[in-house]
Amino acid sequence: MDQYIGKMLDNRYEILERIGMGGMAVVYKAKCHRLNRLVAIKILKSDLAQDADFRRRFNAESQAVAQLSHPNIVSVYDVSKGGDMEYIVMELIDGITLKQYMEKRGRLNWRESLHFITQIMRGLSHAHSRGIVHRDIKPQNIMVLRDGSVKVADFGIACLENSAQTLTQEALGSVHYISPEQARGDRTDARSDIYSAGVVLYEMLAGRLPFEGDSAVSVAIQHLSSIPLAPREVNPEIPEQLELICMKAMAPDIERRYGSAEEMIQDLESFRKNPGASLDFEMRDLRPEEVDEPTTKLRTAGSNGGNVVVSHRSAPVRAREKERERRRDYDDYDQPESGASKGRIALVVVACALALALAGVMFRSILSSFSPAAPEQYVVPNLLGETLSSANEMPEIKDIFTIVTREETFYSNEYAPGEIAKQEPAAGENRKGDSLVITVWISAGQETGVMPDLKDRSMAEVTVMMQDLKAKYNLTIMEEERAYSDEVTEGHVISFEPAKDSELKNGDTVYVVLSKGPQPVTVVSVKNLQVDVARSMLQLGGLELGEITYDASTEVDEGLIISQDPASGEVAPGTKVNVVVSNGPEDGAGTILTYSLTIPIPTVHDSGYLQIYQDSDCIFAENIDCRPGSHFLELEGSGTVHVTAYLDGEIIYDQDIMFGV
């Protein structure tokens, strides 16, 4: 059994169970008895606590994260150490890692990827603004909550941006997400986190990592010297602008990367608002220049602590294209020829091409003298995303094609209102003749729905009501934490977003809050109190006085409450509390006592017919003079009885009285 489970730390945190393990620490679920809440506690492994380097890294995490407070970063509540044990008390996250989420879902759609990466970058922007570089961004360190929000976690190898990097025997971070400068052991800054975040975005969009290999060293070498397949080559459904954002974040040249997380967030937000908007850079702007760089030693975490010598001379673009073709298995890899051989072969190829071209021209000239000229053939241009006016100004359209607009409403999730969303014939097809027509459909924007009223509906009813809307607009229905309500039945909807009659668009998320029913009330003790006082106290506490029974008691005075049911705890509002009232000692039970009762009499009439009942027995029934305003009567009995008086058939008195009080 784990040595920490059941242990109380600092006489405050009770360790309940182990929930995770990392390279340096073990994470436990614990209860804070001071604030009565569940927390996560990260305890440095005992075998590593003796290592000054690991202790330094563990302390670096606590110091780094303690400075941060942001919705997209896991909160730190407390940091403590004593003896050989050091630990951090953190927010307990109800969710899974982004890696687990991707393993369940497979390749994410681009809208979901955009949703996640934007939140990751906001968390990093906050950390960078405090001078903190994470240095280990990967899906395993990103937590996805039930409401779809994410939190960046595990600042285990974080460092202050202006601090020196002292670890020289290992390339920090996970190798599949490591930046080139980290692989070389150079000083890192916020742009290193941006590179790793770009790899995470790539993996979400493409459903695969940009670089893979048989060993960590081979993957690191690819980060230094290779360019990955563009995400759209893996998944053509990815919007081109989002691909550009991803590849700029992953630019191997740090100077070509985003300068800050805030810059990347601005491009992500611009793309979210208008997916067709152009960015101020293109793919060729992200390519490294063809320059030779010296051979560099790649620091690795080998068992002997040695260095692997890696030549990361930047290959020409042609070589990278050839490598891409090799990865796609379009042809086999050939050994490179010498420069002189390449030159001779190129001259021969050019000469042959010119000769063939000249022969072709002569052949066509001869044929043209014997046959009529064939109509010229044109390639249909791509008009998608263009406005009607801009399409008509394209050189491939002018004096060649006529654009005809279909007069029908055409909704599109991809193209903004006013842009061409569909065309016939499709781009790339060949057409010949004099009257060439391209029919286009103009986007009316996203088709929208109307949010129904979900108030007071059960979750089953919500599912039925939203079924068609959910399928049509790809909606996500998210149940948030339940809340108490005195008005809404348990399990029914208290509130929801978007509001009733709001516009619903493709990919929206609908949030609902269900009722937990009325908030329980605490049962108050009414022992040793008179019945009337107990009734008032229970009513003030949201409860009711229930059944009253009597019993003899030598410890509790006659007329006072001996016991109650329920005696304590939390119950629903309006619960009836039954009580047992003392009759005094048992030998005194049944003793006949007298009680002087004065009944107030209305003076509306001079006289009237008065009837008085003790419990169910009529003890007085006569005409009386009403002018005095009251009527006096001596009662006999024991314990508590109920007295009711009627004047001319109308009730004028209705009370419990207790003999001997």
Question: What's phi and psi for 412, nearest 5 deg?
Answer: -145, 130
d(CA 574, CA 597): 33
Radius of gyration of the chain (CA): 41
Amino acid type, 272: R
CA 517 to chain centre: 26
Is the separation of the CB atoms in 220 and 300 below 8 Å?
yes
d(CA 25, CA 94): 20
d(CA 93, CA 72): 12
d(CA 42, CA 19): 10
Q: Which residue has the tokens 């209705």?
A: 654
- DSSP one-letter string for 105-120: H-SPPHHHHHHHHHHH
d(CA 27, CA 97): 14
Element (H, E) at 340: helix 339-368
Crossing angle of helices 110-129 and 261-273, in 10° steps, is: 150
CA 247 to chain centre: 25
Q: Cβ contacts of residue 264 below 8 Å, gap of 6+?
A: 121, 194, 197, 245, 248, 249, 258
Q: 384 is written with which tokens?
A: 């998608």
d(CA 117, CA 163): 27
Question: What's phi and psi for 594, nearest 5 deg?
Answer: -115, 155
Strand, helix or coil at 595?
Answer: strand
136 is a catalytic site residue: yes
Is the separation of the CB atoms in 579 and 545 below 8 Å?
yes
- DSSP one-letter string for 147-196: TS-EEE---TT-EETTSPP---SS--S-GGG--HHHHHT----HHHHHHH
Q: Which residue has the tokens 């954002």?
A: 245
Closest to 65 in 3D by CA, of 138, 127, 128: 127
d(CA 70, CA 183): 29
The separation between the first and the last C-alpha atoms of the chain, rounded to the nearest angstrom, is: 64
**Active-site entry in 136, 189, 267, 508:** 136
CA 127 to chain centre: 19
List strand residue ranges (DSSP E) for 276-414, in order. 296-299, 307-310, 377-379, 401-405
**3-class SS letters over 352-367:** HHHHHHHHHHHHHHHH
Indicate which residues carry an active-site annotation: 136
